[in-house]
């Protein structure tokens, strides 16, 4: 799909990887609607880039259905869905205070995994109405997993499971959506310098950077965004998870 004809919703677009993707795709000529629960930064970013914003909770069926309707109306269509909304959580299975809280496990799965599926299923249903392009394509979905899906660390049972779920749904969803000409890919980022990490302090960031094989630094959100753009533009990419991590393998 050409970026100039791309009409994309980006969840989590008010911050970090989603925001960077919105900026890069918009600069390349795409129409963008940000879906985020952050009603302060969301409209700000949208107006800076000349895009749209709909306050959305990705875990809520009605909220997402309304957002997709509004976004499709504002952009006169919808053919790309980039899911970046997510939370980072850390808690050991058995820690100082006993067993992992069940509600924090469920909340992580609900936002990161169920939320992404909620958005992609409704977006794909909307895309099914599109006229296919010369490749027979009606749309493309890009989810955000994490290298924690494969080498999750201590304290990442919930987060790693939520991201492994994103990786696990990629192929079956690609098969499900093949009949309507919608592709799906997932990006598994290593450690990227976003607001999720910026608060950690330089010492910790230097420590994390030292573990990266090459280049020895954290990922730039614009590098994630360029990969998302490449996926949108590459019709033969489907049903796969791509790591972008400087060859980092977490201990």
Active-site residues, by number, are: 159
Selected binder of ligand NAD within 8, 9, 10, 14 (CB under 6 A): 14
What is d(CA 135, CA 114) in angstroms, rounded to the nearest whole number?
A: 30
The Cα angle at residue 154 between residues 161 and 245, in degrees rounded to 5: 70
| Residue whose CB is less far from ligand NAD, 188 or 232 | 188
| Residue whose CB is less far from ligand NAD, 80 or 137 | 80
| Residue whose CB is less far from ligand NAD, 12 or 152 | 12
Burial 92-126 (b: 16+ CB within 10 A, else e): eeeeeeeebeeeebebbbbbbbebbbbbbbbbbeb
Selected binder of ligand NAD within 51, 152, 165, 189 (CB under 6 A): 189
Least separation in angstroms between residue 29's CB and ligand NAD is 23
Least separation in angstroms between residue 37's CB and ligand NAD is 4
Selected binder of ligand NAD within 27, 39, 61, 88 (CB under 6 A): 88
Could you say whether residue 152 binds ligand NAD (CB under 6 A)?
no
Stretch that binds ligand NAD, among 51-59, 94-102, 204-212, 230-238 (CB under 6 A): 51-59
Q: How many beta carbons lie within 10 A of that of residue 74, not counting itself? A: 17
| Residue whose CB is less far from ligand NAD, 86 or 139 | 86
What is d(CA 19, CA 130) in angstroms, rounded to the nearest whole number?
A: 26
The two three-digit tokens of residue 79, written as one number: 């053919």
Could you say whether residue 58 binds ligand NAD (CB under 6 A)?
yes
Taking phi over 0 as left and psi of -120 to 50 as alpha, with beta for the rest, 136 belongs to left
Question: Could you tell me which of 225, 131, 137, 147 has the C-alpha nearest to residue 191?
Answer: 147
Q: Which residues bind ligand NAD (CB under 6 A)?
A: 11-12, 14-18, 36-38, 56-59, 84-88, 111-112, 115, 144, 146, 189, 191-192, 194-197
């Amino acid at each position: 799909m050409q970026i100039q004809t791309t009409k994309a919703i980006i969840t989590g677009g008010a911050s970090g990887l989603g925001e960077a993707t919105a900026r890069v795709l918009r600069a390349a000529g795409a129409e963008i609607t940000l879906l985020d629960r952050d009603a302060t930064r969301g409209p700000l970013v949208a107006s800076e880039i000349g895009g749209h914003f709909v306050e959305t909770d990705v875990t809520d069926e009605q909220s997402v259905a309304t957002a997709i309707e509004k976004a499709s109306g504002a952009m006169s269509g919808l053919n790309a869905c980039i899911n970046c909304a997510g939370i980072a959580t850390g808690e050991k299975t058995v820690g100082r205070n006993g067993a992992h809280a069940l509600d924090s496990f469920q909340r992580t799965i609900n936002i990161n995994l169920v939320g992404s599926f909620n958005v992609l299923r409704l977006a794909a249903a909307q895309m099914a109405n599109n006229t296919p392009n010369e490749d027979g394509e009606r749309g493309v979905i890009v989810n955000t997993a994490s290298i924690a899906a494969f080498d999750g660390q201590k304290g990442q049972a919930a987060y790693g499971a939520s991201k492994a779920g994103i990786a696990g749904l990629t192929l079956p969803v690609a098969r499900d959506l093949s009949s309507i000409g919608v592709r799906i890919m997932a990006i598994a980022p290593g450690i990227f310098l976003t607001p999720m990490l910026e608060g950690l302090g330089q010492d910790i960031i230097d420590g994390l950077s030292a573990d990266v094989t090459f280049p020895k630094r954290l990922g730039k959100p614009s590098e994630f965004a360029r990969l998302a753009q490449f996926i949108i533009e590459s019709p033969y990419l489907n049903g796969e998870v791509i790591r972008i991590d400087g060859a980092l393998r977490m201990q």
